Amino acid sequence: MRAFGQERDISAARFHHRLVQIHCFANGNGRHARIVADSYLDKHFGHRPINWAGVFDLMASNRRRNDYIAALRATDGDDYELLLAFVQANTEDGWRPDIPLESQPVNCGHQISVQS
């Protein structure tokens, strides 16, 4: 029997991969999938977002992006091990419990700008 955290992580990894696989936009499918997967984690598990990007920009060429894309490609072949490892390694990274959730930095590979 799997632990709750593992079920949550597997669910988030599968959900994220399926959204990327649908490829509903010409550009931004990964960003969209990361945002929606984070929302899914919050709504269904009361869990904070995955730190997808770490300190890297997932739109620029770097090791983090390469690892992320390699994990997605492995998952295309029904091998979820790399994507699950990526998700599990980054579920609480970068988050500080002393800062309210709405004040936490955005860690999904892009910047969000709020215009008034």
Domain ranges of the chain: 4-103
First to last CA, the chain: 49
Cβ atoms within 10 Å of 81's Cβ, excluding its own? 11
Cα separation, 97 vs 92, in Å, equals 10
Banded pLDDT at 34 (limits 50, 70, 90): very high
- Which pLDDT tens digit goes with each residue over 41-88? 999 988 888 989 888 888 899 888 999 999 999 999 999 999 998 888
CATH class of 4-103: mainly alpha
